[in-house]
Every structure is written in structure tokens, then in C-alpha cells.
């Protein structure tokens, strides 16, 4: 009977610990998955904002390029003043 307590009780405790830890690991895994999903959403939102900023910047650069070309063509058409 003593051998039964010495062998079976620790084995039951080990198995119970493993089962409890597995459920805790699953819970931690779920929490990590949720956190990763939130972080991915934040990153995607920031990337979308950066893309929009780049589009606006490109549009602004294009407008400045067009203005510079217009001014350059006007300067080419201006005759110098003679004294």
C-alpha cells in the first residue's frame, strides 16, 4: 500500500499539473493572439496613413514641378531689358 502512495500520488499530481499548465498555456496563447491581432491592426492603420501621406506629398511635388515648369517657360519667353 505504501508503494501505491509513493508511485500513484506523485504521478497523479504530475498529470494534474500538466493538464492545468496546458489550459494556462492555451489561455496565454489566446491572449497573445489577441494582442498580436491588435498590434497588426495598429501597424496596418499606420501604414495606410503613411501611404496617404506619400500620395499627398507626391501630389504636392507634382504641383510644384508644374509651377516651376511654367515659371521656367515664362522666363525663357522674357526678353532681357536693354539700357
- What pLDDT is attached to residue 83? 57
Q: What is the pLDDT of residues 50-62, one digit of tens each?
A: 999 999 999 999 8
The CA–CA distances, whole Å, from 50 to 8, 14, 59, 79 equal 62, 52, 14, 45
Q: What is the pTM of this model?
A: 0.52
End-to-end Cα, the chain, rounded Å: 124
Amino acid at each position: 500500500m505504501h508503494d501505491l502512495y509513493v508511485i500513484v500520488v506523485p504521478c497523479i499530481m504530475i498529470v494534474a499539473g500538466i493538464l492545468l499548465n496546458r489550459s494556462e498555456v492555451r489561455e496565454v496563447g489566446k491572449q497573445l493572439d489577441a494582442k498580436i491581432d491588435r498590434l497588426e491592426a495598429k501597424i496596418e492603420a499606420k501604414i495606410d496613413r503613411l501611404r496617404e501621406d506619400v500620395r499627398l506629398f507626391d501630389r504636392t511635388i507634382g504641383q510644384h514641378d508644374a509651377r516651376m515648369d511654367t515659371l521656367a517657360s515664362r522666363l525663357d519667353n522674357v526678353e532681357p531689358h536693354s539700357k
